[in-house]
Structure 1
Amino acid sequence: MNPILVQDFLEISYRADLDLLVGRWLRPVELPEMQLGYQLLLDAAQVGSCRRWLLDVRRRQNTHQVGAHWMLTTWLPQLEPRLGGRTRLAYLLAPVYLRDEAADAAFPTLAYFADKPYVAERFTEENAAITWLSA
């Protein structure tokens, strides 16, 4: 799996065997870098119409409220028009982040995604995330 794009804060690669876009955040980021990173991920996914993403945010730290708002109102609505179907986003987090109340408040519940052209879930193990993405 060779990287298709590397920034100092994000590495993007594609797993052809699973038809999976992988984004690995390499360090903590500020909001403008987070926004740029997600736009780069969407651009990379659009090339192959890839709608299954593994997002490794263990080194990035969790999104704050402003970043979560931007994702819900600006970025996520771009997925379906650009990728042509329901996108699955698996977030790989360090276990400590699942205990972060502010992060939990920023991440929508599973019910939020019921009628959306995208769905997201959080994981602490990569194999579990890949299994969910493949379902």
Structure 2
Amino acid sequence: MPDFGLEITPRPDLPALVARWQREITVPELKAGYFAILDAADAMDCARWLLDLRRRDELTTPELAAWLKADFFPKLPRRYAEPVRIAFLVSPLRAREEQSDSSVAAISHNSQSNQGFFTALFTDEAAAHRWLAG
């Protein structure tokens, strides 16, 4: 089974699904990885995800941001008993860098409750887990 440079760990104790990219990846691997996360979340019926992006570069382009908004995120509303909550974990340096409209930070910042899911950006894993539990 392909791993897409991704390690997916169910954490029923939190409860959350933790997905950590382990290496630099390509855009097709990123897309496949997001669907692997969705499959794992479906198997757990888990609406809380921590996506650890610290080991890979920013891949988000305007095209990829459009794919997320048009193809991936629309699959999330009403999928589980509660809205999906996605915590993006990034390095402090990456969080301080100038962010474009296509970056994870911009996608997270623009998350609104009427979309049926929530996203947030974190540099501290403990803070991300506290937000996911909220």
Q: TM-score with structure 2 length normalisation?
A: 0.86
- What per-residue deviation string (whole Å, max 9, x for no partner) do you get for residues 4-30 of structure 1? x87260000111111100000011211
Which runs of no fewer than 5 residues in structure 1 stay unpaired? none
The residue number in structure 2 matching 1:55 is 51
- The ranges of structure 1 where at least 4 consecutive aligned residues each deviate by more than 4 angstroms after the TM superposition are none
Shift of 1:109: 5.4
Q: Which moved more, 1:42-51 or 1:65-74?
A: 65-74
The residue number in structure 2 matching 1:134 is 133
Match of 1:91 among 88, 93, 100: 88
The residue number in structure 1 matching 2:18 is 22
1:43 aligned to 2:39?
yes
* Number of matched pairs: 131
Q: Provide the C-alpha distance between the structure 1 equivalents of 2:126 and 2:10, rounded to a whole number of angstroms.
A: 16
Q: Provide the C-alpha distance between the structure 2 equivalents of 1:38 and 1:87, rounded to a whole number of angstroms.
A: 14
Aligned alpha-carbon RMSD (Å): 2.0
Q: Provide the C-alpha distance between the structure 1 equivalents of 2:112 and 2:58, rounded to a whole number of angstroms.
A: 19
Which runs of no fewer than 5 residues in structure 2 stay unpaired? none
Aligned to 2:24, the other structure's residue is in SS state coil
Q: Provide the C-alpha distance between the structure 2 equivalents of 1:129 and 1:102, rounded to a whole number of angstroms.
A: 20
The residue number in structure 2 matching 1:115 is 114
Letter in 2 for 1:41: I
Identity of aligned residues (%): 36
The residue number in structure 1 matching 2:66 is 69
Paired residues of 1:49 and 1:83 also in contact (CA < 8 A): yes
Q: Provide the C-alpha distance between the structure 1 equivalents of 2:17 and 2:2, rounded to a whole number of angstroms.
A: 13
Q: Provide the C-alpha distance between the structure 2 equivalents of 1:99 and 1:64, rounded to a whole number of angstroms.
A: 16
Q: Which has the higher helix share?
A: 1
Q: TM-score with structure 1 length normalisation?
A: 0.86
